[in-house]
Chains A and B, each alone.
Chain A
Amino acid sequence: MTELHTPTPTAPPRSQWLEIWTQFKSHSGALIGGLLFVLILLIVVVGPFVYWNDATVVPTGRDFIKLRDMRPIYHGLWDPGAKMNWAYPLGTDNLGRDTLARLMFGGRVSIAVGLAAMILALFLGTFIGVIAGYYKRLDGLLMRLTDLFLALPLLPMILVAAVLFRESLSKSIGPEGGVFVLIVCLIGITSWMPTARIVRGDVLALKEREFVVAAQSIGTRNSKLVLRHILPNVLSPIMVSATLGIATAIITESSLSFLGFGFPPDFPTWGRLLNDAVDRMTLYPERVIWPGLMISLSVLCVNYLGDGLRDALDPRIRGR
């Protein structure tokens, strides 16, 4: 009789999140994208405290003539005679406001709108998806609602609503806050549908699994069951739609601002800065390029991040 060997594990057990992180690290695009996005966030949030120029200060008197229409310092490489100043690294606009300060301030607004709209859309989408997947009676109704929302011409309706509701909201909350709330709500209300569909599909599949049936059989209440057992298992599709949601929200907000339906003119966002600069782009192309580059770069980073997350969170791909 030979002795039975119990196979002993050679390596300590790894947690699920460590596993995901290992997979995420191997996707170099996602890693770079994530780091760059964090960097952009840091610059935009911390930058205005460190940077010496203020975004809203308009110089008056002689300073106005002296400081307006400054070119960025790198412009001196090919045009040494241009109007430049080391105190204004990216130059100033036609009112003498510092471009870099405005870019950082605008980035704060754009990213804040993107994050807030994403959270609202995610909340709505997850809520409707879970309800539709979990309660069979509401499923048909809620999914027809989702289909209807998907059939709405969203961009035209956002444009219309942005104009029509702007004044009354501005009066009650104030011009900037009103527009912020309005745009966040509009983007959130019009972009929850994909999340709802994905979450519903996953919940439908999870509902039949043994652990849910077991939890039900020991008398877990519906609310607890959803929060403790179902939601953690649909976290990964939600996280992926979160990243994609930020990207679309940033693009929608800047499109609105670009078309002139967004924030008021003295309140810069990336889209607004781009829109203001288009009229003078023949003379000052850098004022168009910087905000556009920032929008594109952040959206690109977020998209790569979402791509990597999707791979990392999918256990079928992981470890390959």
Chain B
Amino acid sequence: MLTFTVRRLILAVPTLLFISLVIFLLLELAPGDPMAQVPLTVPPEVKEKMREALGLGEPAHIRFWKWLVQFFWIEPQVLIDHYFGTSFSQGDLRVISWQTRSPVMDIVIQRLPQTLTVVGTAYVVAILIALPIGIYSAYRQYSWFDQLGTFVSMVGFSVPPFFSGVLVIVIFSVQLGWFPSIYDTTHVVTDWDSFVFQLKQMIMPVMVLALQITAQLSRFMRASMLDNLNQDYVRTARAKGLSEYIVVMVHVLRNSMIPVITVIALGIPSIFGGAIITEQVFKVNGIGQLLIGAIEANDLPMVQTLTFIFAVLIVTFNLIADVLYGILDPRIRYD
């Protein structure tokens, strides 16, 4: 298992390098010009100087190498400096955003907590809702509860977050006036009232994100439970005289959770992708909104870094899912 993990870790490095190259080339081949917004009255030689100031003077492979060094070598040093008060990164050039002229990673670190609170809460809520639904619909297959669950998860698959988000805004903040439609990220929880406000503003984005995840997870849970419910060991457990609760919740559930846990791990990166839209609907200033703003402003270093961070998330959680699967299921050996 350890060799497998190490091998996968080593394999992840060329994958990530290749992905970063693909992202870089995509931005490189694109015909957009970062100087397009500069007024026409600016003389061409000044424009050329501005271009060089943005680091565009050098050929593509050198710029790619510089970005790699900045992202993988200098940025970790900055992080270490920040935590331990050392000064490894003194005087090194970091990845600079063209919009704000400040380091990209500083802005990302500012925006990350908002995304993590909303996405993380949504994921936890979704898991808590989806698992019981999946278990019960499998146990009572083809009952009305199961049929309803199938229908609801089909709807959850089909309704895109930009519609369900707008719909809940129309219903709950416009018509009923229960919740605010815009997420206030500057809000600080100090006492009970501010906590209630935080809860209120989180309900709608969390619910919209959770609906999608619940739809997928409960289907997986149901299918996995159904696979296990007809197995011989279940009959043995019943024949031993164990109570139905123990049979389902201990024997079947533990075995059914193996694929579900890997699906949960695999789903985390895609949730960040889905959060791009939800953040836009509820005006949460997380990294999804940062990405949209950066694309609109043609801020290539920011776009490149953010897209790469998404890629790192995907690769990491794929790895975690693979390793978890091997650890949880002793029948699987990757040798």
Of A18-26, A80-88, A154-162, A214-222, the one contacting chain B is A154-162
B306 at the interface (CB under 8 A from A): yes
A92 at the interface (CB under 8 A from B): no
A259 at the interface (CB under 8 A from B): yes
Knowing A156-B273, A157-B23, A159-B292, say if A292 contacts B314 (CB, 8 Å): no
Which B residues from 97 to 114 make CB contacts under 8 A with A? none
Contact (Cβ within 8 A) B32 A259: no
Instruction: Tell me the interface secondary structure of chain A in the complex.
Output: helix
Tell me the smallest distance from the CB of A84 to a CB of chain B, in Å: 20
Tell me the smallest distance from the CB of B282 to a CB of chain A, in Å: 12
Contact (Cβ within 8 A) B166 A292: yes
Contact (Cβ within 8 A) A167 B166: no
Interchain pairs with CB closer than 8 A, number: 127
Which A residues from 132 to 166 make CB contacts under 8 A with B? 147-148, 151-157, 159-161, 163-165
A60 at the interface (CB under 8 A from B): no
Choose from B166, B170, B315 the contact partner of A151 (Cβ within 8 Å). B315
Contact (Cβ within 8 A) A164 B32: yes
Q: How many residues of A contact B (CB 8 A)?
A: 45
For B307, the chain A residues whose CB sits under 8 A away are 153, 156-157, 160
Give the nearest-CB partner of B307 in chain A. A156
- In the assembled complex, the Cα of A74 lies from the Cα of B169 at a distance in Å of 22
Contact (Cβ within 8 A) A151 B167: no
For B160, the chain A residues whose CB sits under 8 A away are 251, 254-255, 258, 292, 295-296, 299
Contact (Cβ within 8 A) B163 A160: no
Contact (Cβ within 8 A) B162 A157: no
For A288, the chain B residues whose CB sits under 8 A away are 166-167, 170
Contact (Cβ within 8 A) A156 B306: yes
For A258, the chain B residues whose CB sits under 8 A away are 160, 162, 277, 280
B203 at the interface (CB under 8 A from A): no
- In the assembled complex, the Cα of A2 lies from the Cα of B295 at a distance in Å of 86
A56 at the interface (CB under 8 A from B): no
Contact (Cβ within 8 A) A153 B154: no
- In the assembled complex, the Cα of A275 lies from the Cα of B277 at a distance in Å of 12
Give the nearest-CB partner of A33 in chain B. B154
For B163, the chain A residues whose CB sits under 8 A away are 274, 292-293, 295-296
For B30, the chain A residues whose CB sits under 8 A away are 160-161, 164-165
- In the assembled complex, the Cα of A281 lies from the Cα of B162 at a distance in Å of 13
Of B14-22, B66-74, B223-231, B252-260, the one contacting chain A is B14-22
For A282, the chain B residues whose CB sits under 8 A away are 170, 174
- In the assembled complex, the Cα of A289 lies from the Cα of B170 at a distance in Å of 9
Contact (Cβ within 8 A) A300 B27: no
Choose from B31, B174, B276 the contact partner of A281 (Cβ within 8 Å). B174
Choose from B19, B162, B169 the contact partner of A152 (Cβ within 8 Å). B19
Choose from A164, A247, A254, A297 the contact partner of B26 (Cβ within 8 Å). A164
Give the nearest-CB partner of A291 in chain B. B163
Give the nearest-CB partner of A292 in chain B. B163
Contact (Cβ within 8 A) B154 A154: no
B303 at the interface (CB under 8 A from A): yes
Knowing A152-B22, A164-B27, say if A292 contacts B277 (CB, 8 Å): no
- In the assembled complex, the Cα of A297 lies from the Cα of B160 at a distance in Å of 11
Which A residues from 246 to 279 make CB contacts under 8 A with B? 247, 251, 254-255, 258-261, 271, 274-275, 278
- In the assembled complex, the Cα of A304 lies from the Cα of B31 at a distance in Å of 41
- In the assembled complex, the Cα of A30 lies from the Cα of B273 at a distance in Å of 30
Choose from B22, B158, B273 the contact partner of A247 (Cβ within 8 Å). B158
Contact (Cβ within 8 A) A289 B167: yes
Q: Which of A29, A155, A165, A260 has most chain B Cβ within 10 Å?
A: A155
Tell me the smallest distance from the CB of B320 to a CB of chain A, in Å: 13
- In the assembled complex, the Cα of A288 lies from the Cα of B295 at a distance in Å of 26
Contact (Cβ within 8 A) B158 A285: no
- Cβ contacts A150-187/B at 8 Å (1 or 0 each): 01111111011101110110000000000000000000
- Cβ contacts B149-187/A at 8 Å (1 or 0 each): 000001101111011001101100010000000000000
For A152, the chain B residues whose CB sits under 8 A away are 19, 22, 311, 314
Choose from B155, B276, B280, B315 the contact partner of A156 (Cβ within 8 Å). B276
A191 at the interface (CB under 8 A from B): no
- In the assembled complex, the Cα of A161 lies from the Cα of B15 at a distance in Å of 21
Contact (Cβ within 8 A) B162 A274: yes
Give the nearest-CB partner of B274 in chain A. A155
B291 at the interface (CB under 8 A from A): yes
- In the assembled complex, the Cα of A154 lies from the Cα of B280 at a distance in Å of 18
Knowing A163-B32, A167-B31, say if A151 contacts B162 (CB, 8 Å): no
Contact (Cβ within 8 A) A160 B303: yes
Choose from B26, B154, B155, B169 the contact partner of A160 (Cβ within 8 Å). B26
A303 at the interface (CB under 8 A from B): yes
7 smallest beta-carbon distances between A and B, as pairs:
A164-B30, A153-B310, A292-B163, A300-B158, A299-B158, A155-B273, A296-B159
**Which A residues form the contact surface with B (CB < 8 A)?**
29, 147-148, 151-157, 159-161, 163-165, 167-168, 247, 251, 254-255, 258-261, 271, 274-275, 278, 281-282, 285, 288-289, 292-293, 295-297, 299-300, 303-304, 307
Known: A148-B19, A152-B314, A282-B170. 6 other contacts (CB 8 A): A152-B311, A155-B273, A156-B303, A159-B295, A160-B27, A282-B174
27 A-B interface contacts by CB (under 8 A):
A148-B15, A151-B311, A152-B19, A153-B273, A153-B307, A153-B311, A156-B291, A156-B306, A160-B26, A160-B295, A160-B307, A164-B32, A247-B157, A251-B160, A254-B160, A259-B280, A271-B162, A275-B162, A288-B167, A289-B167, A292-B166, A293-B163, A295-B160, A300-B155, A300-B158, A300-B159, A303-B157
